A and B are shown apart, each in its own frame.
Chain A
């Protein structure tokens, strides 16, 4: 499936798709989107790159095994839930928000970090599964 056109296109598509996935992630708060879909899209971006350039190049690009994203994302989600317990002695996963929204990103709160955690886990899981299977099959 290595064609020059796809290869050239994927070099540009990868950053655009990744940006788009982050857009979807942040958008999720007000409009359809969110961490889960965002993570899936980001992994599709990488899978597309792998199709065009071969798995080795994609792995080189990533620099680390995607499996490490899973604990990182889980930890981020967990800590975002733990934060209110530490800061305000509130129940686990109470939503905390900054008073003023930040331009571009919007309101910032623990739920956002939670969603980012979901994004990272989904990306890690999908890439781990697909990379493992395509390597061994």
Chain B
């Protein structure tokens, strides 16, 4: 299994090298990779159906608890099959959809990264490994949404999606770390047994809130849903694959996976019910006002994700069955609808549903696929959508409280979703063919075969539900830890309440379709409420944050070297002074001081004179020379106190510093713009404070009891181990040689910096002159 994930990443990398050769007609061959994976995962169906769980352990960074523990159970298998199966069809579809696109190789590269990351996500049993794959899916999604990178809208949508899902990723990590802290393991399969411990733990609410944050952002739940309609700027294969069938379900996957770990509490269930309920109604209601095919589908996808959250929130065995079936149902019909939309867009050049009609004459296979998907979407028998919808009603009807309210919510949402399906899957194809659309070319086989396969599958599974019952649904429900022997998925349940509700839903949906026609006026009507939408509010907050950081940067990064130094020094002073004021005793041991000699007094006088001269002179060069005198006097002190190495170095450095200063100042204009009195006093105070602080610090260090162990070790071993008599040098080149190594590297970097700053600036100026 690890191999499958790795091959995916390698395939992405290989696009860099061989992508150029695969751009043309050969690109369809790339779909053999996901196909091979699909076949690979199909092989596991019998084992999983028999109740086995396939695991594979690969150590990675065990010291941090990050291991690639792969675990294939029912839930992981369903997702793996969707990722690879729909992946295969999307790969085939892309080869025709983006035919001759100059960046087709790049597109396939991103798709491979996404596929591998998504497989890793659903197969990981380790929470931290899962986090890495989770983030990788967000990143590949960012690149795919912004694939048309010349379009500013596309770039903005990509950034929005990345910010929202990126924040979710951080919450995921935080939640995962808390889970790991509380349970002592990062393996999800081992957390299940600690459900009671978790639910009663003081950190429970926080952990769950973090996990919810991750799942809701990823799966576009209210109020984070708005990145998904924006993500529809991506090419249609991406919308099909990432933003309806697989990636957006990662949040649902997470909730499903953690239900047995974190579930079984009112907080968990009620939050999911409320958020899922709001999301599904809000999004389903929005489909009424959209005219763009992809926009309609985006909102109906959000509504479907809402239903899934809602079902997981119910938390009963029936609701888990319903959720498991609905994940499959939705993936099948929504992918079909998206592929169909792409075909219409590609061949007619528009996605505006008000302009499309009568396309059955020119693209019959697409029309059939759309019709099949719309039927499954509306839950009309004998499609699998019918089974899915029945199971939803059954789970709401049998819920322990508020059954009527919950069922009503579900019915309303389903009516609206059904309506959206008709608008998207049926309306473009029926009626009179408008002029201009009559001569549309017949779609390429790679365009019409994938949606037809998916559309037909929805009916095959509907007519023969036993195909998925034992192989997928039972093992999935088993992951929540309930007994699955009595699950029977049937198309026909006999005449009962659920059938009645189903009939009401279907009839109302069709009626709504005939009464309510989408048009531009209605779209404008809803746009008036944009200022109240979460999208607007969050974007405003982001804008505020941006202007705040702009302001902050302007204050601190103002481009004046003197201000930078002032800030650094003042900060240092306050920090050190704070510590000194709090924990120091101020004892100076005068007895340890050596007596003043005449040499020291003379050098001190020279230094004081030099300082005075440097501060009060009106010439730059004189000031520099005075600081040089200061430096040489300090050298003298090093000599007095037997540090010849330091003295030599300081002497050479001071010479060079003065030379450097002179070189720079020599070219400056003679006119001196001396700073005013106030600034000088301010600078003087800062300088004196800093100097005083360093002096106090030095005295304090002297007062501390000394530890001679290290220096005596160096002194004793310099000759024995390093054949050197000069301890200072031995320390520099041998004992602490790595320090020196890094220091000279830093020096080299500084020199390159100076060179780059001055030379590159010169060149750009020269260019300007030319």
**Residues of chain A having any CB pair with chain B under 8 Å:** 24, 28-37, 40-41, 43-44, 47, 67, 70-71, 73-74, 77-78, 81, 92-93, 95, 97, 107, 109, 111, 114-115, 117-118, 121-122, 124-126, 128-130, 132-137
Q: Which 8 A-B pairs have the closest CB atoms?
A: A40-B652, A32-B644, A125-B751, A30-B725, A137-B667, A70-B748, A136-B758, A121-B744
Nearest-Cβ distance from residue A20 to partner chain B, whole angstroms: 12
Cβ of B723 under 8 Å from chain A: yes
- Of A67, A118, A132, A136, most B-chain CB atoms within 10 Å: A136
Q: Quick check: A132 and B758 within 8 Å, CB to CB?
A: yes
Question: Which residues of A are found within 8 Å of B691, using beta-carbon distances?
Answer: none
Q: A40-B653, A130-B660, A133-B664 are in contact. Are A34 and B732 (CB under 8 A)?
A: yes
Contact among B644, B656, B666, B726 with A130 in the assembled complex (CB-CB below 8 Å): B656
Question: Which residues of A are found within 8 Å of B724, using beta-carbon distances?
Answer: 29-30, 111
Q: Quick check: B648 and A33 within 8 Å, CB to CB?
A: yes
| Chain B binding surface SS class | helix
Q: A93-B737, A114-B733 are in contact. Are A32 and B725 (CB under 8 A)?
A: no
17 A–B contact pairs at CB < 8 A? A37-B649, A40-B649, A41-B652, A67-B751, A67-B752, A70-B751, A74-B748, A92-B738, A114-B733, A114-B734, A125-B750, A128-B752, A129-B751, A132-B754, A135-B758, A136-B759, A137-B664
Q: Quick check: B755 and A128 within 8 Å, CB to CB?
A: yes
Q: Quick check: B748 and A77 within 8 Å, CB to CB?
A: no
Contact string against A for B residues 651-672, beta-carbon threshold 8 Å, 1 for contact and 0 otherwise: 0110110011001101100000
The residue of chain B having its C-beta at the shortest distance from the C-beta of A30 within the complex is B725
Cβ of B729 under 8 Å from chain A: yes
B708-724 interface with A by 8 A CB criterion: 721-724
Known contacts A70-B751, A74-B745; can you find 10 more A-B pairs with CB under 8 A? A29-B730, A31-B726, A37-B648, A43-B656, A44-B652, A109-B723, A111-B730, A125-B750, A129-B755, A134-B663
- A33 to B664: give the CA distance in the assembly, Å: 30
| Chain A binding surface SS class | helix
Q: Quick check: A137 and B747 within 8 Å, CB to CB?
A: no
Q: Quick check: A47 and B648 within 8 Å, CB to CB?
A: no
- A114 to B737: give the CA distance in the assembly, Å: 8
Q: A118-B744, A125-B747, A133-B663 are in contact. Are A33 and B656 (CB under 8 A)?
A: no
- Of B741, B752, B759, most A-chain CB atoms within 10 Å: B741
Contact among B730, B740, B751, B759 with A124 in the assembled complex (CB-CB below 8 Å): B751
Q: Quick check: A37 and B758 within 8 Å, CB to CB?
A: no
Question: Which residues of B are found within 8 Å of A29, using beta-carbon distances?
Answer: 723-726, 729-730
Question: Which residues of B are found within 8 Å of A121, using beta-carbon distances?
Answer: 744, 747-748
Nearest-Cβ distance from residue A18 to partner chain B, whole angstroms: 14
Question: Which residues of B are found within 8 Å of A136, using beta-carbon distances?
Answer: 758-759, 761-762
Nearest-Cβ distance from residue B660 to partner chain A, whole angstroms: 6
Nearest-Cβ distance from residue A58 to partner chain B, whole angstroms: 13
Question: Which residues of A are found within 8 Å of B663, using beta-carbon distances?
Answer: 130, 133-134, 137
Contact among A43, A93, A124 with B748 in the assembled complex (CB-CB below 8 Å): A124
A-B contact count (CB 8 A): 143
- A97 to B740: give the CA distance in the assembly, Å: 20
Q: Quick check: B733 and A111 within 8 Å, CB to CB?
A: yes
Cβ of B645 under 8 Å from chain A: yes
B654-712 interface with A by 8 A CB criterion: 655-656, 659-660, 663-664, 666-667
Question: Which residues of A are found within 8 Å of B722, using beta-carbon distances?
Answer: 95, 111
Q: Quick check: B655 and A77 within 8 Å, CB to CB?
A: no
Question: Which residues of B are found within 8 Å of A132, using beta-carbon distances?
Answer: 754-755, 758-759
Question: Which residues of A are found within 8 Å of B666, using beta-carbon distances?
Answer: 137
- A135 to B653: give the CA distance in the assembly, Å: 21
Contact among A115, A125, A137 with B733 in the assembled complex (CB-CB below 8 Å): A115
Q: A118-B733, A130-B659 are in contact. Are A81 and B741 (CB under 8 A)?
A: yes
Nearest-Cβ distance from residue A29 to partner chain B, whole angstroms: 5
Question: Which residues of A are found within 8 Å of B762, using beta-carbon distances?
Answer: 136
Q: Quick check: A97 and B729 within 8 Å, CB to CB?
A: no
Contact among B726, B740, B758 with A133 in the assembled complex (CB-CB below 8 Å): B758
Q: A130-B659, A130-B663, A133-B754 are in contact. Are A122 and B733 (CB under 8 A)?
A: no
The residue of chain B having its C-beta at the shortest distance from the C-beta of A116 within the complex is B733
Q: Quick check: A95 and B734 within 8 Å, CB to CB?
A: yes
Nearest-Cβ distance from residue B656 to partner chain A, whole angstroms: 6
Question: Which residues of B are found within 8 Å of A28, using beta-carbon distances?
Answer: 726, 729, 733
- A92 to B734: give the CA distance in the assembly, Å: 11
B592-646 interface with A by 8 A CB criterion: 644-645
B319-346 interface with A by 8 A CB criterion: none
Contact among A31, A40, A71, A77 with B656 in the assembled complex (CB-CB below 8 Å): A40
The residue of chain A having its C-beta at the shortest distance from the C-beta of B754 within the complex is A129
- A41 to B726: give the CA distance in the assembly, Å: 19
- A31 to B642: give the CA distance in the assembly, Å: 12
Question: Which residues of B are found within 8 Å of A31, using beta-carbon distances?
Answer: 725-726
- A24 to B569: give the CA distance in the assembly, Å: 36
Nearest-Cβ distance from residue B755 to partner chain A, whole angstroms: 5
- Of B733, B734, B755, most A-chain CB atoms within 10 Å: B733
Q: A111-B722, A130-B659, A137-B663 are in contact. Are A37 and B748 (CB under 8 A)?
A: no
- A97 to B730: give the CA distance in the assembly, Å: 14
Question: Which residues of B are found within 8 Å of A109, using beta-carbon distances?
Answer: 723
Q: A34-B645, A125-B748, A133-B660 are in contact. Are A118 and B725 (CB under 8 A)?
A: no
Q: Quick check: A128 and B754 within 8 Å, CB to CB?
A: yes
- A136 to B653: give the CA distance in the assembly, Å: 22
Nearest-Cβ distance from residue A65 to partner chain B, whole angstroms: 9
Question: Which residues of B are found within 8 Å of A129, using beta-carbon distances?
Answer: 660, 750-751, 754-755
Q: Quick check: A44 and B649 within 8 Å, CB to CB?
A: no
Nearest-Cβ distance from residue A110 to partner chain B, whole angstroms: 9
Q: Quick check: A95 and B723 within 8 Å, CB to CB?
A: yes
- A134 to B744: give the CA distance in the assembly, Å: 23
Nearest-Cβ distance from residue A10 to partner chain B, whole angstroms: 14
- A129 to B750: give the CA distance in the assembly, Å: 9
Nearest-Cβ distance from residue B667 to partner chain A, whole angstroms: 4
Nearest-Cβ distance from residue B714 to partner chain A, whole angstroms: 14
Q: A33-B648, A44-B655, A130-B656 are in contact. Are A95 and B667 (CB under 8 A)?
A: no
- A124 to B754: give the CA distance in the assembly, Å: 13
- A41 to B656: give the CA distance in the assembly, Å: 9
Nearest-Cβ distance from residue A45 to partner chain B, whole angstroms: 11
- A23 to B763: give the CA distance in the assembly, Å: 40
Contact among B645, B659, B737, B748 with A81 in the assembled complex (CB-CB below 8 Å): B737
Question: Which residues of B are found within 8 Å of A74, using beta-carbon distances?
Answer: 744-745, 748
